[in-house]
Amino acid sequence: MTAPAAPATLNDLIATVPNIVDHLFRNPPKNAMTIHTQMMPGDAVRPEFTTWRDEQWAWRNAIALHDQSFHMNSLTVRGPGAMALLQRLSVNSFRNFAVGRAKQLVACAPSGHLVGDAILYRLAEEEFLVVGNPATTDWVEYHAGEAEGVEAELDPMWSLNRARHRRFYRFQVEGPGAMALLAHLNGGDLPEIGFFASDFITIAGCRVRAMRHSMGGVPGLELSGPWEERDGVLRALVAEGRPRGLRRIGSIAYFTTVIESGWWAVPVPAVYTGQGTEGFRKWCSARHAAMRMSLGGSFHSPRIEDYYLSPYDLDYGHIVRFDHEFIGREALEAARDRPHRRKVTLVWNADDVLAILATMLEAGEPAEKPLPVTLPLAAAARMHVDRVTDAAGRTVGLATYPAYTVNERAMMSLATVEAEHAAPGTELILHWGEDGGGARSAGNIEPHRQVQIRVTVAPCPISRAAQSYRSAIGVRRGALRAV
């Protein structure tokens, strides 16, 4: 008997499965503990270079070297129609977007819900580079294929890169000692570089593009250049940086930076339903993110729409600009003055965390115990969504990215909660583990019982270093420079 053919497109998949939410729960998990083998080659970016705790400490106290050369898609978009296309795909304004600058590209579906975000670089008058989550680059690539006067060339992440060669390398050097190290390597003072602006410096005789950006919310520069020069630049950074306290950051610590900086890295993309996304679903194949992603966590709804987030839910409302036409504008304009959730950090109660950890040392069947909390990142899937309730059990928000950092000495989640529960110090409850005890994930996680964890609302970003950094570059709420 011939096995049924695998769905060729996302549209085919949705028509085949009883429910797309349940399908995504059953997808093999792409969590942080498997990412380093799937997205970051272990011979280049090991899980740990020292220890993940020492590496987390480094970006707050010394110098951290993140190797971002492997795990993100890069999509080159060029042509006379490139600028107009990218503006139509982004909720934020492109005014003053000069060559050499970068900006956050925030893309929405017509419903006004997020597809994803990425960093957009303007390399030349008619050439742009989109770097980030494949869900976002897939969306841009699809629309580029439908546009006049636009060419798109994908440089896929390492796990999907058959050529084992990329166009650019990309490093992030950050921390209190980062600028002094880079000035030393440059052989003189660094140029004045504004936020999301770039200039060129010299490292090991190579011309390196330096862009002011940060992973952990601390002072630093992103460095990029031709792939062929990667090894030489890396050797120079390590050789000169180690005596100054530089740590290379392994893949385990790397994927915890967002809990300190407050970036919601992997929202559920709003492409599985809705008018205006049908063409994308018919174009999207098994190599694209929407079909490969996994879903997990304590929040479960049979409606995929209940997982969608708007820019307002993640505090992106201040960068939404109605000075241009863009996909999702009508929906966002209509929702502008409605109540919205607020992005916060949830700090887990230490006693509740310790109680879960203690069960790992106790006798009993796994199904009788809570889902273990894996340190430092406890995500059960690439798109991890936990339910957050008030004391009465009413759902008041969603949480993601459960993670620990040695800098905060705390287990935390990012969350978006109703405004009346968003004040720092508010006590809420995070539900940990699936309500079905793991059956929904079809063996991707062990059997367990769901438990409640007391959490306390804290600012987002929680890192005081990140708060100070954002304040210094003028990105406080209500004062964000239009980028």
Domain containing residue 183: CATH number: 3.30.1360.120
Same domain, 345 and 438: yes
- In this structure, is residue 273 part of a structural domain? no
Residues 46 and 187 in one domain: yes
Please tell me the predicted confidence (pLDDT) of residue 479: 28
Do 33 and 39 form a contact (C-beta atoms < 8 A)? no
Domain containing 451 equals 341-472
Total number of domains in the chain: 2
List the Cα angle 246/247/253 in 5-degree steps: 145
Same domain, 358 and 452: yes
Is 431 among the domain residues? yes
Mind listing the pLDDT tens digit for each residue in 111-124? 999 999 999 999 99
Note whether residue 461 is domain-resident: yes
Question: What is the mean pLDDT of the segment spanning 293-297?
Answer: 95
pLDDT, tens only, 304-323: 999 999 999 999 999 999 99
- Which is it for the CA torsion 105, 179, 478, 427, positive or negative? positive
* Domain match, 184 and 48 both: yes
Residue 315 lies in a domain: no
> What is the C-alpha to C-alpha distance for residues 297 and 379, in angstroms, rounded to an integer?
8
Any domain includes 330? no
Tell me, yes or no, whether 129 lies in a domain: no
Q: Give the whole-number percent of the chain exceeding pLDDT 90.
A: 85
What the block records as the tokens of 479 is 């004062």
Q: Does 361 share its domain with 256?
A: no
Pair 248, 348 in one domain: no
Q: What is the rounded distance in angstroms from the CA atom of residue 295 to the CA atom of residue 383?
A: 5
For residue 466, what pLDDT is reported?
A: 58
* Domain edge (last residue) among 236, 261, 286: 261
pLDDT digits (tens, 9 = 90+) for 371-418: 999 999 999 999 999 999 999 999 999 999 999 999 999 999 999 999
| pLDDT the model gives residue 159 | 85
- To the question of pTM greater than 0.85 for the whole model, the response is yes
- The CATH number linked to 395 is 2.40.30.110
Q: Does pLDDT of 5 surpass 90? A: no
**Does 437 map to a domain?**
yes
pLDDT tens for 189-232 read 999 999 899 999 999 999 999 999 887 778 899 999 999 999 99
**Alpha-carbon distance 395 to 397, whole Å?**
6
Residue 336, domain member (yes or no): no
Question: What percentage of the chain has pLDDT greater than the value 70?
Answer: 93
For residue 25, the 8-state DSSP code is H
- 128: Cβ contacts below 8 Å, ≥ 6 apart: 76, 77, 78, 82, 83, 86, 120, 121, 122
Local confidence band at 471 (pLDDT 50, 70, 90 cut-offs): low
Task: Give the pLDDT of residue 413.
Answer: 98
Q: Look at residue 215 in the predicted model and tell me its pLDDT.
A: 78
- Of the residues 261, 282, 297, which one is the last residue of a structural domain? 261
* 199 & 347 share domain: no
Boundary of a domain, candidates 200, 230, 261: 261
Whether residues 235 and 376 fall in one domain: no
User: Are 368 and 464 members of one domain?
Assistant: yes
Same domain, 245 and 362: no
pLDDT at 213: 86
Cα dist from 367 to 33, 364, 434, 435, 444, whole Å: 22, 8, 11, 12, 14
Question: Are residue 249 and residue 368 in the same domain, yes or no?
Answer: no
